[in-house]
Structure 1
Amino acid sequence: MARMIFVNLPTKDLAASDAFYAGLGFEKNTDFSNEVATAWMITETIWVMVLSEEFYSSFLRNGDKATYGAGPREVLNAISGETREEVDEFARLALAHGGTIYREAAEEFPGMYSVAFLDPDGHEWEVGWMDMEATPGA
Structure 2
Amino acid sequence: MTKDLWINLSSKDLARTRQFYQDIGFKFNPSFPGGDSALSLLVGNPQIVVMLFPEATFRSFTASPVSDAMTTAEVLLSIGADSREEVDALAAKALAAGGQLYAKPGESQGWMYACGFADPDGHRWNVLYMDTAKMPGR
Q: Equivalents in 1 of 2:11, 2:92: separation in Å?
A: 22
Paired residue for 1:112?
Answer: 112
Consecutive unaligned residues of structure 1, counting only runs of 5 or more, are none
> How far apart, in 1, do the equivalents of 2:111 and 2:73 lie?
26
Aligned to 1:25: 25
Mapped partners of 1:103, 1:116: distance in 2: 5
- The letter for the 1-side match of 2:37 is V
Structure 1 runs, 4 residues or longer, greater than 6 Å off: none
* Unaligned 5+ runs, structure 2: none
Partner of 1:42: 43
Residues 3 and 45 in structure 1, CA contact (< 8 A), matched pair in contact too: no
TM-score, normalisation: structure 2: 0.89
Greater shift after overlay, 69-78 or 83-92?
A: 69-78
Q: For the residues of structure 2 that align with 1:120 and 1:74, how far apart are their CA atoms? A: 14
Q: Which residue of 1 aligns with 2:73?
A: 73
Query: 2 CA distance for matches of 1:12 and 1:67?
Result: 11
Q: TM-score, normalised by structure 1?
A: 0.89
1:68/1:123 contact within 8 Å kept:
no
Q: Between Structure 1 and Structure 2, how many residues are aligned?
A: 135
Which is worse superposed, 69-78 or 107-116? 69-78
Q: Which moved more, 1:115-124 or 1:21-30?
A: 21-30
Give 1:1-138 correspondences, 5 Å limit. Answer: 3-32=3-32, 33-43=34-44, 44-61=46-63, 64-138=64-138
